[in-house]
Amino acid sequence: MRIIKTNKLPIYCWASEVEEGALEQAIHLAEHPFAEHHVCLLPDVHEGFGMPIGAVLATKEVIIPNAVGVDIGCGMCAVKTNIRAEKLNYQTLNNIVLDIKERIPVGFKHHKSKQNLPSNLKKPAGPITQNELDDIPYQIGTLGGGNHFIEIQKDKDNFIWIMLHSGSRNLGKKVAEHYNNEAKIRCKHWDSQVSKSWNLAFLDVNSNLGRQYIEEMNYCLEFAKANRLHMLDTIKDVFYNHTQCDFGEMISIHHNYAHYEKHFGEWYWIHRKGAISAKKGEFGIVPGSQGTPSYIVCGKGNADSFMSSAHGAGRVIGRREAIRKLDLNSIRKELDKSGIIHSINKQKDLDEAPQCYKNIDRVIEEQKELAEPIYKLYPLAVIKG
């Protein structure tokens, strides 16, 4: 870890390289009037909107919607099966993939019929989530697009794992955009010191609007988790129909959220944007890119990172640049040669090519102070939105 000095707070950085845009955003965080203690940059850090992705911010009196992001509650779940890869021939694996695609809508698609909501999912907590109440039963159990995925993997002992990455879908986006707009209005009214260009408008956590955002954010977190569990149940059903396998205990984590936590003897709102909680003994998921390994990790409770870890590999090439510059045929050939059932079929799919992301092994190495790798998981099949 190295320390980057600013005019206000230090930046604790675990990344060997930080792109210029991400560093500029990190400096804005460190010089934010309500930022506390220090700012963290994790090995997967890259430029985001307002706050870098792969960063952690502490505040006391305010909460910053753009430091959570538009996909509130985006996260991961993973489960180990008792079936080994050698029992899963290519045809069976391909049939499993086709069945999953048939049952789980991806991209902008939603279910055509209402899905049952879990009984423990509380009623919407505020006006934005309440307004989406009719759509929620159609959104739950859907993957979305971008970097969201379902992946079938194997560990070093050849046991099959299921991993998926998704968030709160359109619900979280609407909540995030509404409260960020409200925050911008209030910051302008207060003549805030925070530059409009930073995109780091804030809400007072003790105001009605601040409390309302926190309530709606927490609902989005619960919905995002329920969304992943709904999909995982579907995938388990598909797997059981083909293999009659059993499943182990699920690991489930968020990596876009804010949570009230005690660090260095004081209470803070810890904003994790593209970062996971990594308390001592806490399991986490750090996925690679399409065609590369992923990791199950165990947190070390490192105080300097606010007990946080990287959430993935982190982008090195923007989506538009990837589509414009990468060679479709060579990337398809490389993935085909590896034997992976992948999702790169057209030029537009190149925004999720392995070349768009950092080396996941390097990310894991650079955060060895933060989390210990427990399982290294190798991809067999990938479904993208």
Catalytic annotation, pick one of 28, 46, 255, 311? 311
Section 122-146 average pLDDT: 92
**Of the ranges 76-80, 105-109, 158-162, 373-377, which one carries the lowest mean pLDDT score?**
105-109
Q: Is residue 311 annotated as a catalytic residue, yes or no?
A: yes
DSSP string, 46-115: EEEESEEEEEEEEESSEE-GGGT-SSTT-EEEEEEEEEEGGGS-HHHHHHHHHHHHHHS--TT---SSPP
In terms of Cα–Cα distance, which of 382, 313, 298 is closest to 344? 382
Q: What is the reported pLDDT for 219?
A: 96
Band the pLDDT of 54: cuts 50, 70, 90: very high
In terms of Cα–Cα distance, which of 2, 3, 15, 16 is closest to 55? 15
pLDDT tens-digit series, residues 81-115: 999 999 999 999 999 999 999 999 999 899 999 99
Whole-model pTM over 0.75: yes
Mention every residue, 6+ apart, whose C-beta is less than 8 A from residue 64: 32, 34, 50, 51, 57, 183, 200, 201, 202, 203, 258, 271
What is the residue-averaged pLDDT of the chain? 95
**Percent residues over pLDDT 90 in the chain:** 90
Can you list the domains of the chain with their CATH numbers? 2-316+357-384 (3.90.1860.10)
Report how far residue 349's alpha carbon sits from residue 365's, in angstroms, rounded to the nearest whole number: 29
**Percent residues over pLDDT 70 in the chain:** 100
| pLDDT higher than threshold 90 for residue 196 | no
